[in-house]
Amino acid sequence: MTRGEVSISSIADLSDSVAHAAAAARVRSIGLAPDTTPVHAPRWLDELEREFDQFDGNQEMAAVLAAACSRARVLQTASGEGPDAERSAALAFAADALAGLTLEDACPPAMVAEMASRVARVLDASPDATLLELFIRAASSPSLLELPPLLTIELQLKLLLILAPITEVSLWVDEPGRQLQCLAHAGGPALTRRVREIVRAVFDGDPPGDKDRSWLHGVPVLRWQQPHGVLVGRAHPNDRDRTRAFLQEAGRYMAAVLEREMLLERSAERERTLAEASERRLMRLGFDLHDGALQDLAMLGHDVQNAQREIGQRVPARARRLVSGRLEDISAQVDALESSLRELSRSLEPTSMLERPLMEVLRSEVEKFEARGTTRVTLELGGELDDLTASQRIILYRIVQEGLSNVRDHSNATDVRVTVDGRQGRIEAQITDNGEGFHVEPTLIRAAKNGRLGLVGIGERVRMLGGRFDVRSRVGGPTTLSVSLARWRPPA
């Protein structure tokens, strides 16, 4: 072939190459991969489960690992297939497991650290990056964030000690009118002068400079872009950047926790005000009953006895026995009413209920109810019921008292079950009877219009305590009253 001649086969080859290139370009332009062969994701979650099974040494650990696995499987299904979904599910499993084991205090920190190192090995990832990601996920784990705020903070500090290059860490707040306060610390003594100096410097907006070779590192915990707290950690100066990263991530979650604690403090103040006002009102009502209605009843009983003597002298002998019997019945009814009102007056004294164990108070109320009639009551008490606030104790007592009173007056029930349980972070109370039942809404509206505010008042008081009150019934029964309150203690 001479110069200037072009082979036909070469042109064909060139055209074919151009066509293939154009086709590939079209495929790329519409976002399709030319190779549709499925890529199987690595089974990291399965491998981590097998690795963690080696640490399944007791019932608490087994329960924590099972819960973490269940949540990870749900997240894996929701995320679809592929390495990214598998890696995310594996990290979620590991983080939930580490958070749960720290919460249950089911294994020593050294074992938790070993589990974290195994995560890095299974994922074939940098240990430093894995530890940071595990901390971020574990510190925001639902199992921690649903706890009381100070307990959540303590566990987050423990996680910092385990996963970060930190040997000592503390959280400080500065409230108006108070001195610097250390809310929580872990790993060593936090109340040193140097720590306080760093805390004050961070609050004042003048933290130690980046060139400071100090072993103490402080970062602000921001609320509305203003320091609401300060985290101080002790770590080697060479780990300054990693330490600050861990502390800053911890501060993001602790800001929300501190906000919740502040709301609880406000709720505690309202709760104290409500309890004090309610107890003053109850005490005043008790005094009014004692000095008013009870005295009037005593005079009425005396007048009935006088009338019985006078009428006996003036009524013919044949009618005397009938009239005397009727007056004796009236006198007995007055005595019974006076006894009931005196008992009610005593029950309105706050010390009679608040100073006794709640279980004892509820048992006494049930015994008094059974003594007045033929209705059988089954009382079931469970969990911890002594470590409650005054308002929580009062509302539980009132719901049982009001529920039994309604059973006696309206239901014609033969059997009642009263259940009060203080486990799993809540206090639940339920009164169920096998009586006649009623239509709930119209009955409560009619009772409120007629001034009978027993259940309505309890419902409003439960709502003010942040709880839930429910009345379920139908004609023919059964009827169930239930109260659910969050279990918490106001800050000391």
**What is the CATH classification number for the domain harbouring 388?**
3.30.565.10
Q: Are residues 322 and 427 in the same domain?
A: no
Cβ neighbours of 204 (radius 10 Å): 10
Strand pairing category for 181-186 and 216-223: unpaired
* pLDDT tens digits for range 153-191: 888 898 898 889 999 999 988 876 667 888 888 887 667
Q: Looking at residues 385-409, what average pLDDT do you find? A: 82
Domain count within the chain: 3
Cα angle 458, 459, 463 (rounded to 5 degrees) comes to 115
Tell me: pLDDT of 266 over 80: no
469, 437, 473: which is closest to 455 by C-alpha?
469
Tell me phi and psi for residue 382, to 5 degrees: -145, 160
Which of residues 145 and 349 earns the better pLDDT score? 145
Does residue 12 sit within a domain? no
Does residue 13 sit within a domain? no
**Among 179-193, 374-388, 432-446, which is the least confidently predicted range?**
179-193
Q: Is 313 exposed, middle or buried, given 0-12, 13-18 or 19+ CB atoms closer than 10 A? A: exposed
Query: How far apart, in whole angstroms, are the C-alpha atoms of residue 271 and residue 284?
Result: 20
Q: Are residues 174 and 229 in the same domain?
A: yes
Of the pLDDT bands very low, low, confident and very high (cuts 50, 70, 90), residue 431 is very high
Burial 409-425 (b: 16+ CB within 10 A, else e): eebebeebbbebbbeee
Q: Are residues 217 and 290 in the same domain?
A: yes
Query: How far apart, in whole angstroms, are the C-alpha atoms of residue 473 and residue 442?
Result: 12
Of the pLDDT bands very low, low, confident and very high (cuts 50, 70, 90), residue 447 is confident
Does residue 222 sit within a domain? yes
What is the token pair recorded at 184?
A: 């929580």
Q: Are residues 413 and 454 in the same domain?
A: yes
109's CB contacts (< 8 A; 6+ apart) are: 158, 161, 162
Neighbouring C-alpha atoms within 13 Å toward the C-beta of 235: 24
Given this model, what pLDDT does residue 417 score?
Answer: 94
Q: Looking at residues 456-485, what average pLDDT do you find? A: 84
Cβ neighbours of 91 (radius 10 Å): 24
Tell me: pLDDT of 239 over 50: yes
Given this model, what pLDDT does residue 343 score?
Answer: 67
DSSP assignment, residue 124?
T
Q: Are residues 329 and 193 in the same domain?
A: yes
Tell me: pLDDT of 17 over 60: no
Tell me phi and psi for residue 375, to 5 degrees: -75, 130
Query: How far apart, in whole angstroms, are the C-alpha atoms of residue 122 and residue 136?
Result: 19
* pLDDT tens digits for range 119-159: 888 888 888 888 899 999 988 888 787 788 888 888 889 88
Q: Are residues 175 and 259 in the same domain?
A: yes
Tell me: pLDDT of 13 over 50: no
Which of residues 238 and 287 earns the better pLDDT score? 238
Q: Looking at residues 26-54, what average pLDDT do you find? A: 60
Does residue 263 sit within a domain? yes
Given this model, what pLDDT does residue 106 score?
Answer: 62
Query: How far apart, in whole angstroms, are the C-alpha atoms of residue 267 and residue 249?
Result: 28
Query: How far apart, in whole angstroms, are the C-alpha atoms of residue 279 and residue 394?
Result: 9
Given this model, what pLDDT does residue 36 score?
Answer: 40
Tell me: pLDDT of 282 over 50: yes
Tell me: pLDDT of 380 over 60: yes
Given this model, what pLDDT does residue 480 score?
Answer: 92
Q: Looking at residues 445-452, what average pLDDT do you find? A: 69
Tell me: pLDDT of 118 over 50: yes
Q: Are residues 427 and 296 in the same domain?
A: no
Tell me: pLDDT of 42 over 90: no
Greatest Cα pair distance, the chain, in angstroms, is 159
65's CB contacts (< 8 A; 6+ apart) are: 49, 52, 53, 55, 56, 97, 100
Neighbouring C-alpha atoms within 13 Å toward the C-beta of 249: 21
Cα–Cα separations (whole angstroms), residue 389 to 274, 395, 431: 12, 10, 21
Cα–Cα separations (whole angstroms), residue 83 to 51, 52, 76, 91, 131: 19, 20, 11, 12, 20
Helices then strands (H, E): number in the chain? 17, 9
Given this model, what pLDDT does residue 412 score?
Answer: 86
Given this model, what pLDDT does residue 430 score?
Answer: 92
Name the average pLDDT for the chain: 77
Given this model, what pLDDT does residue 197 score?
Answer: 87
150, 132, 41, 43: which is closest to 95 by C-alpha?
132
- Domain ends where: 348, 374, 400? 348
Given this model, what pLDDT does residue 349 score?
Answer: 54
Does residue 8 sit within a domain? no
Does residue 27 sit within a domain? no
Q: Looking at residues 359-385, what average pLDDT do you find? A: 86
Question: pTM of this prediction?
Answer: 0.51
What is the token pair recorded at 7?
A: 């082979």
Of the pLDDT bands very low, low, confident and very high (cuts 50, 70, 90), residue 209 is low
Tell me: pLDDT of 255 over 70: yes
Q: Looking at residues 395-420, what average pLDDT do you find? A: 87
Of the pLDDT bands very low, low, confident and very high (cuts 50, 70, 90), residue 316 is confident
Query: How far apart, in whole angstroms, are the C-alpha atoms of residue 264 and residue 257?
Result: 11
- Domain ends where: 348, 366, 383? 348
Cα 456 versus chain centre, distance: 25
Residue 186: helix, strand or coil by DSSP? strand
What is the token pair recorded at 230?
A: 């300060």
Q: Looking at residues 301-307, what average pLDDT do you find? A: 78
Does residue 224 sit within a domain? yes
DSSP assignment, residue 237?
G
**Among 12-21, 38-47, 188-197, 450-459, which is the least confidently predicted range?**
12-21
Which of residues 290 and 361 earns the better pLDDT score? 361
Q: Are residues 427 and 455 in the same domain?
A: yes
Q: Are residues 224 and 283 in the same domain?
A: yes
Q: Are residues 142 and 192 in the same domain?
A: no
Tell me: pLDDT of 319 over 50: yes
Query: How far apart, in whole angstroms, are the C-alpha atoms of residue 408 and residue 425?
Result: 32
Does residue 9 sit within a domain? no
**Among 42-56, 188-202, 289-303, 463-477, which is the least confidently predicted range?**
289-303
Tell me: pLDDT of 350 over 60: no
Residue span of the structural domain in which 236 resides? 167-348
- Domain ends where: 348, 380, 412? 348
Q: Are residues 181 and 308 in the same domain?
A: yes
Given this model, what pLDDT does residue 280 score?
Answer: 65
Tell me: pLDDT of 461 over 80: no
Q: Are residues 206 and 314 in the same domain?
A: yes
Given this model, what pLDDT does residue 393 score?
Answer: 82
Neighbouring C-alpha atoms within 13 Å toward the C-beta of 475: 4
Query: How far apart, in whole angstroms, are the C-alpha atoms of residue 238 and residue 234?
Result: 12
Q: What percent of the chain has pLDDT over 90?
A: 6
Residue 37: helix, strand or coil by DSSP? coil
